[in-house]
Amino acid sequence: MEAARGEEEPLSGERAATTPRQARRIRIALASVMMGAMAVVLVVRLASRTSVLVVGVYGAALVLCGVVIELSRHGRTRLGSWLLGIGLAAALAADWLLLP
């Protein structure tokens, strides 16, 4: 059986793989959502206490999300995935460990 575009339909037990274009779009959307979430957390944390360290930690997370978006636009989705995961985990760990 062939689909309308001439591609084979995945069997019921198989998962359809994403194309590189879809992976880039997913990564860009994920990084954009995380950037918005980091901006909201930055505003909330600054409302509770003003600190240069708070701005530094969450500012670095915002920059990291922007870098991941650019990497994804240029086709470096695996590198972007690793950076996003490790970088945001490091930002949250720094928040938990460094910020009073």
- Tens digit of pLDDT for each residue in 20-51? 888 889 988 999 999 999 899 889 988 887 78
Question: Which pTM was predicted?
Answer: 0.73
CA 41 vs. chain centroid, Å, equals 15
Q: What is the pLDDT of residue 1?
A: 47
90 confidence band (pLDDT: 50, 70, 90): very high
- How confident is the model over 45-74, as pLDDT tens digits? 888 877 888 888 888 999 999 998 998 888
Q: What are the CB-based long-range contacts (under 8 Å, 24+) for 56-62?
A: 57/91, 57/94, 57/95, 57/98, 57/99, 58/91, 58/95, 60/87, 60/91, 61/87, 61/88, 61/91, 62/35, 62/38
pLDDT above 90 covers a percentage of the chain that reads: 21
Q: What is the pLDDT of residue 86?
A: 94
